Structure 1
Amino acid sequence: MSDGLPFYLSTLAADPINGRIRFTSTGRDRQGEIAIKIARTIDFGNSNLRGGETFLATSLRGRRLGRQVIRNSFRLSEFLGLARMSIHAVLDGRYAWARCGFAPDPEAWPRIKKQLLSVLDAERFRKVPTERHWALQVIASDSPRALHMLSKIDTLVEFEDAGEDERVPFGRALLCSLTMWHGTFDMASEMSRMILFGDTQ
């Protein structure tokens, strides 16, 4: 799990229970503080790598290290012959997982769609009508890739969670306004792989 990361990660794995192995990888900075922490569960029975906690210290954010963590999870899943990776997207993960090719579970999409349409009524999104119109079209398409397409809208907008007087990309502000979502990454999907490993994503 350490490949491409600025810290060596020490990994502790629990004993297998019911065909599942939970492990946690941790990297510490020079002061001994936790800088990276990744928790995953390998579920052999369901051919799934379930995402748990993914923590990056503030000083490490914005350096594409989150994407590298997900790429390392992909490589592990591929090595183990798993069919999918699954996540519970909260906090910054509501944006990051979509940006890296995870799609919401189909049964969750109607709730997510309703939330997105409600959020788009906010004044900060109405101030950028072209981007808002595009976002509404993406949502109306009901595409499994809708959240990924929304994550790529990069016009800056105000976002209260970002801090006073800060602006963030439209897609990040929109997706981080969701309560949460469950999603999967289909290991057999060439499109998902291209999104995760593409240089321009």
Structure 2
Amino acid sequence: MRIPIGDEDRRMQSSWFSNTNRIRFDFSPTKEIEDWWKEHMFDPHGLTPEALAERFTASWADHRQIEFKTIDPDRPEISFSVHDSSGDATVWLVDRCIDLDGKFVEALRMAVADDWQFEGIGRRLMKNAVDTGLFLGCDRIRLDADDVGRYSWVRMGFVPDRGSWRSIREACIRSLMQFSQTLGPARTQEIVMMLMSNDPKTMRLIADLKDPVEEPRLRRRGGLEPQVVPLGKAMLLGDCPIWAGEFDLRDATSLSLMEDCVDATR
């Protein structure tokens, strides 16, 4: 007996939400969730849950393990975690959340194993988030920048919020004083005046400062000697606090910075 087309569609739709060795759900998907997904994700964008997670991690060619935390049609919000599953140890992990009403993606967490650092994996995964955010019609990507992200994310086009920028300015001025003897009074005063700006985008200028300085807290990989690094990197990886900020997906300059940083890793 021929199955009516409606039943075929329902079976296909339900299969998107079945736990497999590649994807699992931390909740029991209801018919409401399945119907909402079809209307808001599959019909307009052609994305199943697995395809959405794969798009957010498209730069990684090997196997992935996907875990959906929430799909909330009322908010509406989608959150999930993805990590590589191609070997015995995890190479990278990302947590993402999409707020469809607010039109933003939240980059909740990203980690890359120590042995895989400096390979450009984090940059490419963030570029995947940018590309997918644009594809979904989002305006922004939000994150909290910590560790090396305090420097690298601003280089890739992210900008701190105003509250974070005030804290960053204070920390940068303190850090700058450590290098004042190397820089000299005129150059030091020039950078202090730069830091007086209330515009959070000034952080891009700080990150781009190339004066060579020796930062004792940044040591060569596997060694004890301090690194000689650009001043902007020393300031933002020294005393700079964790900061909250966002990437404007409508801003051509931000998009260009993202492209340039990713191209530099190829």
- Work out whether the TM-score is over 0.5: yes
Aligned residues with identical type, % of pairs: 20
Q: Which residue of 1 aligns with 2:16?
A: none
The aligned runs of 1:22-171 (5 Å cut-off) are 22-28=79-85, 30=87, 32-122=88-178, 124=179, 126-129=181-184, 132=188, 135-154=191-210, 155-162=212-219, 164-167=224-227, 168-171=229-232
Alpha-carbon distance change, 2 to 134 in structure 1, aligned in 2, over 3 angstroms: farther
- Describe the SS at the equivalent of 2:250: coil
Measured after TM superposition, the shift of residue 133 of structure 1 is 5.2
Q: Which residue of 2 aligns with 1:16?
A: 71
1:103-138 Cα deviation digits (max 9, x unpaired): 01123322221221122112x464234875554343
Q: Distance in 2 between matches of 1:187 and 1:149?
A: 20
Tell me how many residue pairs correspond in the alignment.
199
1:45 alignment partner AA: D
Q: Distance in 2 between matches of 1:200 and 1:133?
A: 32
Q: Which residue of 2 aligns with 1:5?
A: 60
Question: Which structure would you say has the larger RCO, counting Cα contacts within 8 Å and 6 or more residues apart?
Answer: 1
Quick check: 1:131–1:153 contact (8 Å CA) kept in 2?
A: no
Alpha-carbon distance change, 132 to 98 in structure 1, aligned in 2, over 3 angstroms: farther
Measured after TM superposition, the shift of residue 75 of structure 1 is 0.9
Q: Which runs of 5+ in 2 are unaligned?
A: 1-55
Quick check: 2:70–2:80 contact (8 Å CA) kept in 1?
A: no
Alpha-carbon distance change, 149 to 62 in structure 1, aligned in 2, over 3 angstroms: farther
Alpha-carbon distance change, 11 to 46 in structure 1, aligned in 2, over 3 angstroms: same
2:101 alignment partner AA: G
Q: Which runs of 5+ in 1 are unaligned?
A: none
- Describe the SS at the equivalent of 2:66: strand
Larger helix proportion, structure 1 or 2? Answer: 2
Q: Which residue of 1 aligns with 2:236?
A: 175
- Describe the SS at the equivalent of 2:71: coil
Quick check: 1:2–1:8 contact (8 Å CA) kept in 2?
A: no
Measured after TM superposition, the shift of residue 148 of structure 1 is 2.1
Quick check: 1:35–1:56 contact (8 Å CA) kept in 2?
A: yes
Q: Distance in 2 between matches of 1:92 and 1:112?
A: 15
Mean Cα deviation higher: 183-192 or 137-146: 137-146
Superposition misfits of 4+ residues, deviation over 4 angstroms: 130-134
Quick check: 1:125–1:157 contact (8 Å CA) kept in 2?
A: no
Across the aligned residues of Structure 1 and Structure 2, the Cα RMSD in angstroms comes to 2.5
TM-score for both structures, normalised by structure 2 = 0.66
